[in-house]
Chain A
Amino acid sequence: MHKYYLTHLQELESEAIYVIREVVAQFDRPAILFSGGKDSIVVTHLAKKAFWPAKIPMPLIHIDTGHNFPETMEFRDKLVEDLGVQLIVGSVQDAIDKGRAVEESGINASRNELQIVSLLDAIEHNKIDAAIGGARRDEEKARSKERFFSHRDEFGQWDPKNQRPELWNIFNGRKRMGEHFRVFPISNWTEMDIWNYILHENIAIPSLYFAHNRNAVYRDGTWLPASEFLSLREGETVENKLMRFRTLGDITITGGIESDADTLEKIVAEVSATRSTERGNRSDDKRSDTSMEDRKKQGYF
């Protein structure tokens, strides 16, 4: 083996650190979009590495739908304390109360799309000019064409047909007043890379990712966690299952899988053997072939 050689994870890590440092160098008020999910946890970990021994020189933004897993909130608060960074919370409940957003109704009602309003409000209110996110290109079709530095107009919208070309490792973050960028340092990572990296770096993640017993309802091919926000349909029953989550979002839309993987090693083994995508358990992506593209154009993560 050649002596001067990086493994694929080392190369992906180096690329992501480079991108995060470019953000801090090119923008005045960057922030990290933190959902409490594994991808944003990895991004935050990479940011910690990028600026060590200094602290992460930007705040975390969390969009709080009000429909959270309590575990996610505890995890978030501890991480923010450990890192010594500022936390900005954008509340969907606030947006609804102020009439900025209207709650969906019906059996599959969720606050997923309402996050767009709170996210754009948080960006505008805090004058954020670059919001770093944990989106990956392997997640979804529309995301496969996403840039590392993704330009958003003054309405926060994405124009997929008119994206700036991105060559080599030169990133163009120039913009007009009122416009902003979304930046995706882990664009080139896959779900497998994320898990292998979490294992390799021994990164703390919420307990929800590990197998645990929980009350859940089987709907549309996935186990939806029972919560005060879930209304049962006819014929549905709540069962207690040994399960875990592959992705974490709002509690109303995140389905789990039956699993006994209670260590990172077992999760890596399970993910490498699995034959379905992680977002297959996300009802927000199932609304149509291009639902992710449509939401992204409006300003979604």
Chain B
Amino acid sequence: MELLRFTTAGSVDDGKSTLIGRLLYDSKSIFEDQMEAVKQSSERKGLQHIDLSLLTDGLRSEREQGITIDVAYRYFATPKRKFIIADTPGHIQYTRNMVTGASTANLALVLVDARKGVVEQTCRHSYIASLLRIPHIIVCINKMDLVDYSEEAFNKVVEQYEAFAAKIDVTDIRFVPISALEGDNVVNDSVNMPWYKGESLLHTLETIHIASDENHADARFPVQTVIRPHAAEYHDYRGYAGRIAGGIFKPGDKITVLPSGLTSTIKSIDTFEGPVAEAFAPMSVSITLDDDVDVSRGDMIVKDDSEPQVSQDIDVMICWMANRGPRPGAKYHLKNTTREVMAIIKEVYYKLDINTLEKQENAGDIKMNEMARIRLRTTQPVVFDEYRKNRITGSLILVDEATNETVAAGTILA
């Protein structure tokens, strides 16, 4: 059984909570006592319907205000796949939460109200999916029951979406006409839309091909820690522990350690179950080398046939995550894979309007939830790939030196 991580974004009225509730309920992932608790809470609030959003909105302040503030993770499984939903709020003031949810997703569900068509929020969610390099988007055209299940209404929204989607960089985009409220095409095929020949949403989620989403070409192994057992039996053992971030490693491979540039050959790739003949992303393993070279946390082991970039000047698209914008001349801890260096913001090229993807030069200070293309200068070299080639080695966060808060998330452009 494979694991598929997907993200949803939406605001109060677009039926996102109902859709998630429907997926969980129809796939029998909501337990009776959870349902009973939600029913009782709904009744206490004097609601006529069972409010499925109470299943997802867990924090006291969210329940009080009736909104999703944070990213909530939801789980369900069918006999074919296990799913992790990163459920995020859709309003622009929560862009940072959408970015967070998108960072680990293989797929984005974008909800469109069939009556309203493509609106600003649709574009924003799709742009975020594209900037975070989510490989698949499913556009759920919802509330089909309110447009008489009309094929014409569906086609109109598809045309609108395709027109604007020329601007985004996602190759796999699919459209499903649904009614989350009535259940049409969510889990079961709709009897109300015989004109729709495609699959239901759940069937698409179960079968969409995701195994090729990992980068299996460029071998990358960021070292987390060094394993040195203090036992006679393993006296000389030095295992470099980490999780493969790309490509395929085999014993006998010629490797380079970056940024030092030292070279060696892989002696073994070890796991608790024993040595393996090859290892690929996202496996956690320990690598031993033929030579006693200096390797420690923050180094990256790569194969000689494709080397990443090593530089102290990097161009990044960032999303600012903290209340207070960057202070002039401030120093940040930059974390990229297992490596940590200090960095300063050298230049702000432009801000990016997340609703239109327009570049805004000289647009003033960067504020929370805003995106900007910047140049960073670091104290030590960073070992990276472009984010579009590898989402692990191409991503970074900035941590405020004074408050220790994570203040920005960045995707490396060059």
| Cα distance, A22 to B211, chains bound together (Å) | 26
Q: In the complex, which residues of chain A have a beta carbon less than 8 angstroms from the beta carbon of B229?
A: 53-55
Is the Cβ of B75 less than 8 Å from the Cβ of A174?
A: no
B285 nearest CB across to chain A (Å): 9
Q: What is the 8 Å Cβ interface bit string for chain B, positions 55-70, against chain A (1 contact, 0 not)?
A: 1111111010000011
Q: What is the 8 Å Cβ interface bit string for chain A, positions 267-301, against chain B (1 contact, 0 not)?
A: 00000001111001000000001100100000000
A276 nearest CB across to chain B (Å): 5
B79 nearest CB across to chain A (Å): 10
| Cα distance, A48 to B227, chains bound together (Å) | 12
CB neighbors of A among B21-56 (8 A)? 31-34, 37, 41, 55-56
State whether A51 and B227 are in contact (beta carbons under 8 Å apart), knowing that A172-B406, A276-B32 are contacts in the complex.
yes
B2 nearest CB across to chain A (Å): 6
How many residues in B have their beta carbons less than 8 Å from beta carbons of A?
A: 79
Task: Tell me which of A12, A145, A166 has the highest count of chain B C-beta atoms within 10 A of its own C-beta.
Answer: A145
| Cα distance, A116 to B337, chains bound together (Å) | 34
Q: What is the 8 Å Cβ interface bit string for chain B, positions 227-263, against chain A (1 contact, 0 not)?
A: 1111101100101011100001000000000000000
Determine the residue in chain B with the shortest Cβ distance to A193.
B82
State whether A48 and B272 are in contact (beta carbons under 8 Å apart), knowing that A14-B243, A170-B335 are contacts in the complex.
yes
Q: In the complex, which residues of chain B have a beta carbon less than 8 angstroms from the beta carbon of A25?
A: 224-225, 297, 338
Is the Cβ of A8 less than 8 Å from the Cβ of B3?
A: yes
Tell yes or no: B103 within 8 A of A by CB.
yes
Is the Cβ of A172 less than 8 Å from the Cβ of B59?
A: no
Is the Cβ of A54 less than 8 Å from the Cβ of B32?
A: no
State whether A289 and B63 are in contact (beta carbons under 8 Å apart), knowing that A166-B100, A168-B391, A168-B392 are contacts in the complex.
yes
Q: In the complex, which residues of chain B have a beta carbon less than 8 angstroms from the beta carbon of A17?
A: 243, 284
Tell yes or no: B212 within 8 A of A by CB.
yes
Is the Cβ of B77 less than 8 Å from the Cβ of A192?
A: yes
Q: In the complex, which residues of chain B have a beta carbon less than 8 angstroms from the beta carbon of A165?
A: 96-97, 99-100, 321, 406, 409
| Cα distance, A170 to B81, chains bound together (Å) | 26
State whether A187 and B211 are in contact (beta carbons under 8 Å apart), knowing that A8-B82, A14-B282, A21-B225 are contacts in the complex.
no
Is the Cβ of B241 less than 8 Å from the Cβ of A174?
A: no
Q: Is the interface of B mostly helix, strand, loop or mixed?
A: mixed
State whether A22 and B60 are in contact (beta carbons under 8 Å apart), knowing that A165-B96, A170-B397 are contacts in the complex.
no
Q: In the complex, which residues of chain A have a beta carbon less than 8 angstroms from the beta carbon of B75?
A: 137-138, 188, 190
Q: In the complex, which residues of chain A have a beta carbon less than 8 angstroms from the beta carbon of B231?
A: 53-54
Tell yes or no: B404 within 8 A of A by CB.
yes
Task: Tell me which of A18, A165, A193, A274 has the highest count of chain B C-beta atoms within 10 A of its own C-beta.
Answer: A165
Determine the residue in chain A with the shortest Cβ distance to B282.
A14
Cβ-defined partner of A275 (8 Å) among B32, B71, B96, B224: B32
Is the Cβ of A50 less than 8 Å from the Cβ of B284?
A: yes
A261 nearest CB across to chain B (Å): 18
Tell yes or no: A163 within 8 A of B by CB.
yes
Is the Cβ of B228 less than 8 Å from the Cβ of A54?
A: yes
Is the Cβ of B224 less than 8 Å from the Cβ of A21?
A: yes
Tell yes or no: A207 within 8 A of B by CB.
no
| Cα distance, A175 to B403, chains bound together (Å) | 8
CB neighbors of B among A1-47 (8 A)? 1-2, 4-15, 17-18, 21-22, 24-25
Determine the residue in chain B with the shortest Cβ distance to A164.
B406
Tell yes or no: A206 within 8 A of B by CB.
no
A47 nearest CB across to chain B (Å): 11
Task: Tell me which of B239, B297, B395, B397 has the highest count of chain A C-beta atoms within 10 A of its own C-beta.
Answer: B397
Is the Cβ of A170 less than 8 Å from the Cβ of B227?
A: no
Q: In the complex, which residues of chain B have a beta carbon less than 8 angstroms from the beta carbon of A142?
A: 58-59
Tell yes or no: B283 within 8 A of A by CB.
yes
| Cα distance, A55 to B337, chains bound together (Å) | 25
CB neighbors of A among B375-414 (8 A)? 391-392, 395-397, 399, 404-406, 409
Is the Cβ of B2 less than 8 Å from the Cβ of A174?
A: no
State whether A167 and B103 are in contact (beta carbons under 8 Å apart), knowing that A275-B31, A276-B33 are contacts in the complex.
yes
Tell yes or no: A127 within 8 A of B by CB.
no
Is the Cβ of A175 less than 8 Å from the Cβ of B211?
A: no
Tell yes or no: A144 within 8 A of B by CB.
yes
CB neighbors of A among B325-350 (8 A)? 333, 335-338
Tell yes or no: A219 within 8 A of B by CB.
no
State whether A277 and B282 are in contact (beta carbons under 8 Å apart), knowing that A142-B58, A188-B75 are contacts in the complex.
no
B33 nearest CB across to chain A (Å): 4
Is the Cβ of A54 less than 8 Å from the Cβ of B284?
A: no
Is the Cβ of B284 less than 8 Å from the Cβ of A14?
A: yes
Tell yes or no: B150 within 8 A of A by CB.
no
Q: In the complex, which residues of chain B have a beta carbon less than 8 angstroms from the beta carbon of A6?
A: 3, 282-283
Q: In the complex, which residues of chain A have a beta carbon less than 8 angstroms from the beta carbon of B311?
A: none
CB neighbors of A among B249-302 (8 A)? 270-272, 280-284, 286, 297
Is the Cβ of B392 less than 8 Å from the Cβ of A169?
A: yes
Determine the residue in chain A with the shortest Cβ distance to B2.
A8
A150 nearest CB across to chain B (Å): 13
Q: In the complex, which residues of chain B have a beta carbon less than 8 angstroms from the beta carbon of A233?
A: none
Tell yes or no: A100 within 8 A of B by CB.
no
Is the Cβ of A4 less than 8 Å from the Cβ of B248?
A: yes
| Cα distance, A42 to B336, chains bound together (Å) | 29
Determine the residue in chain A with the shortest Cβ distance to B233.
A53
Tell yes or no: A266 within 8 A of B by CB.
no
Is the Cβ of B58 less than 8 Å from the Cβ of A5?
A: no
Is the Cβ of B404 less than 8 Å from the Cβ of A174?
A: yes
Cβ-defined partner of A172 (8 Å) among B239, B391, B395, B397: B397
CB pairs A–B below 8 angstroms (25 shown):
A4-B281, A8-B3, A9-B1, A14-B243, A14-B282, A14-B284, A21-B225, A25-B225, A51-B241, A52-B272, A53-B239, A54-B228, A54-B231, A144-B73, A145-B59, A164-B405, A165-B97, A165-B100, A166-B100, A169-B104, A174-B404, A187-B73, A275-B31, A293-B58, A293-B60
Q: Which positions in B face A, CB cutoff 8 Å?
A: 1-3, 31-34, 37, 41, 55-61, 63, 69-75, 77, 81-82, 84, 96-97, 99-100, 103-104, 211-212, 214, 216, 224-225, 227-231, 233-234, 237, 239, 241-243, 248, 270-272, 280-284, 286, 297, 321, 333, 335-338, 391-392, 395-397, 399, 404-406, 409
Q: Which positions in A face B, CB cutoff 8 Å?
A: 1-2, 4-15, 17-18, 21-22, 24-25, 48-55, 137-138, 140-145, 160-161, 163-170, 172, 174-176, 187-188, 190, 192-193, 274-277, 280, 289-290, 293
Q: Which 5 A-B pairs have the closest CB atoms?
A: A141-B58, A2-B211, A54-B229, A8-B3, A49-B272
